Homo-oligomer: A and B are copies of this chain.
């Protein structure tokens, strides 16, 4: 019997498949480690094993996050334009949101969403200064209490600054 050589399709035998998965994942991560060290590049990977509760993150949960955040941030160069269409990315997020709405319940989820809200408001300058980064509960209360003011300011800006066109991209065109 020939050793080695397998066809490039799903390994039928389950335990053999798991064995192959363990070995190959190990090999893969080693290669990843090598290429990043040898060539000084940043990289990360995630592998969702069949029976694994947790996906494998490389180089580490934190390292993985860091690289993903770099990617998701899309703020260094305008990678985004060539890599993925922004509109379709937004639409995908929107769809995801709808899928998730029916599942929302936990307090943590509420916190997450409130923070997202804060991101929006801060970016739009509807809230003035960085709030305490630690007290999320306080942040939530603060946002809710201030919704009236925020809405007012939004309405004002909307009334004065509206371009009103739903067509193609032209910047707001206001000087310093």
Contact = CB atoms under 8 A, between A and B. Distances in A.
Q: How large is the interface on A (under 10, 10 to 19, 20 to 34, 35 or more residues)?
A: 35 or more
Nearest to A103: B75
* Majority SS at the chain A contact face: helix
Contact of A86 (B10, B108, B151): B108
A24 B34 contact: yes
- Copies of this chain in its oligomeric complex: 2
Contacts of A65: 84, 89, 92
Given A24-B38, A54-B83, A158-B145, A115 B90 contact: yes
Contacts of A89: 65
A28 B20 contact: no
Interface of A: 6, 8-11, 17-18, 20-21, 24-25, 27-28, 31-32, 34-35, 37-50, 53-55, 57, 61-62, 65, 67-73, 75, 77, 79, 82-84, 86-87, 89-98, 100-101, 103-109, 111-120, 122-125, 130, 133-138, 141, 144-145, 147-148, 150-151, 154-155, 158, 164-167, 169-172
